[in-house]
Amino acid sequence: MTAAGLQKPEPRAEASRPRGLLHHPGLRLVRLHLASRRIPGALAALALCALVLRAGLSWHWSLGNGNGAQQVPVLIEAGAASIIAVTAQSPFGDPERATGRWLPYLRLGTAVGLTAAAFAAMAAGATADHLPGGTLDILRNTAGMTGIGLLLAAVTGGALAWTGPMAYMIVAQIGLIGDWTSPWVWPARPPHDLGAGLCAGLVFAAGIVVATVRGARAVREI
């Protein structure tokens, strides 16, 4: 038998169009992307952070007033940033990069959306009691440390990217106790400090750009 003897198959019946908004290809892509990054788990973890912040403020876990009172909030903000950083990890690696035309936009949306969710969660948790620095402080610290985490994810991969915000948090704790004035240690600066805000914003912007363009580095998981 040769190829000439083969019969041409019948043209396939046109696939039935998906019904409902949730089955729209674009939304389905977004949903699958969010699922692959474990976004529901991330949102639950952010909610847990908000609860811990609320408990810390309600039960006065902080050390005294002034900068000492910022220690627990900065720790929780670092935790939120760490959670966002580990969501950058992709379970697919290179195949996803090779085929995903919309991937940069999805990564951008995920990172920005999660940062907004983290800010909202922290702000909600901070309503329990007076938070020194207020919500502006939460926004600056969370965004800046998220930038650190996303930058580290591009270098080490998403799995261990949580170490970046954690290491920065320890430096920030030292800065808080030592009343450091460097704007690069933004958690130790007042919320309206322009330099600190610019530094945090710069790091966040760099992290978002790198996360959008490159994403987390694909490394073999340990």
Partner 1 sequence: MTLTDALARPRPRDAGHASPMSLWRLLWLELRRNAMPWMFPLLAALFVFDAFRSAMGYGPFWDLRASALENKLLPDFVAFVAGVAAWMGSRDSRRRTRDLVDATARPRWTAQLTTWAATTLWVAAGFLCCVAVLYGVTASQATWGGPPWWPVAVCLAELALMSALGFAVGTFFPSRFTAPLAAVGAFLLSLEGFRNAVGRSSAYALLSPTTYVPDDDTGLFHHYLPDVSIAQLMFLIGLTMVALAILGLRRAADAGPQLRRAAAVIAVAGLAAAGTAIGLIGTARTQAYGTVIPALHDAANDRPIPYTPVCSQAAGVPVCVHPAYRNFLPDVTAALAPVLREIASLPGAPARVDQVVVNDLIPSNGAAITGVPPVFRLPMPATPDETSFGQNAVSFTSYLQATLVTVFVVGAHGFVTLGPVGGTPAQQAVVLALLQKARTATQTGSGPGNGSHTKADQVAAAARRFAALPATTRHAWLAAHLATLRAGDITLAQLP
Summarize as ranges the residues that interact with partner 1 (CB under 8 A): 38, 41-42, 45, 48-49, 52, 56, 61-64, 71-72, 75-76, 78-79, 82-83, 85-87, 89, 156, 158-160, 162-163, 165-167, 169-171, 174, 177-178, 221-222
Shortest Å, Cβ 167 to partner 1: 5
Nearer to partner 1, 52 or 218 (CB): 52
Handedness of CA 131, 137, 143, 148 (dihedral sign): negative
- How many residues comprise the chain? 222
Cα–Cα distance for residue pair 126/124, rounded to 1 Å = 5
Shortest Å, Cβ 177 to partner 1: 7
Q: Is 63 left (phi over 0), alpha (psi -120 to 50) or beta?
A: beta
Residue 169 in tokens: 């948090």
Query: b/e map of 38-55 (b: 16 or more CB within 10 Å)?
Result: bbeebbebbebbbebbbe
> Virtual CA dihedral for 169, 74, 106, 19, nearest 10 degrees?
140
Shortest Å, Cβ 90 to partner 1: 11
Nearer to partner 1, 70 or 212 (CB): 70
Shortest Å, Cβ 175 to partner 1: 11
Nearer to partner 1, 145 or 197 (CB): 145
Nearer to partner 1, 95 or 178 (CB): 178
